[in-house]
Amino acid sequence: MWLFIKNLIFTVFVPGTVAVYIPYRIIEDRYDLFNIHWGILQILSAAFILCGAVIYFWCVWDFAVTGLGTPAPIDAPRRLVIKGLYRYVRNPMYIGVLMVILSWAGFYNSYAILRYAVLVWLIFQGVIMIIEEPILRSKFGESYKDYCKQVKRWIPTKGYREKT
């Protein structure tokens, strides 16, 4: 139960801020947020917002159940998570968050949110390369190095196969 609460708190404050609150603040003065003209772009964007959220929560579930941790660096998974979406791409949680942000850009036809999404991706890329990957290499050693050889950072692959 405590792990669920920690994941919920992290989700509200970090991805919730990055993927919902900040995009809202970017557009709040320009749009009547609750009086939307629903066209095909808004319908597709809403579907992609839902997909991005599902991706994020699936990854949080795998972090909790398989990794016995949270996405928060201070309570990171204790085991290397290479199941679910992590079998195909190394950063599905970030992809889910970016999908939500990009979907808001489409939903509101907002270049400001699109620019924000690019900035967020650059920050994610920096954090991954400078902080996360070195920590994971030192923590999980050869198994992480093997995983990185088989699974790309952002582009889905055929899937991770353990050495036998």
Dump the DSSP string for the chain: -HHHHHHHHHHHHTHHIIIIIHHHHHHTTTS-TTS----HHHHHHHHHHHHHHHHHHHHHHHHHHTTSS-SSGGG--SS---SGGGGT-S-HHHHHHHHHHHHHHHHTT-HHHHHHHHHHHHHHHHHIIIIIHHHHHHHHHHHHHHHHHHS-SSS--S------
Q: Is residue 117 over pLDDT 70?
A: yes
Which is more confident, 74 or 92? 92
Q: What is the pLDDT of residue 145?
A: 95
Q: Is residue 30 over pLDDT 80?
A: no
Q: What is the pLDDT of residue 164?
A: 61
The whole-number average pLDDT for the span 116-131 is: 97
The whole-number average pLDDT for the span 94-104 is: 98
What percent of the chain is modeled with pLDDT above 70?
98
Q: What is the pLDDT of residue 63?
A: 93
Q: Is residue 33 over pLDDT 80?
A: no
Q: Is residue 31 over pLDDT 90?
A: no
Nearest to 69 by CA among 24, 163, 6: 6
pTM of model > 0.85: yes
- Average pLDDT along the chain: 93
Q: Is residue 66 over pLDDT 80?
A: yes
Tokens of 127: 């954090």
Hey, where are the domains in the chain? Answer: 38-150
Q: What is the pLDDT of residue 73?
A: 84
Q: Assign domain 38-150 one CATH number from 3.30.70.920, 1.20.120.1630, 1.25.40.10, 3.40.190.100.
A: 1.20.120.1630
Q: What is the pLDDT of residue 143?
A: 93
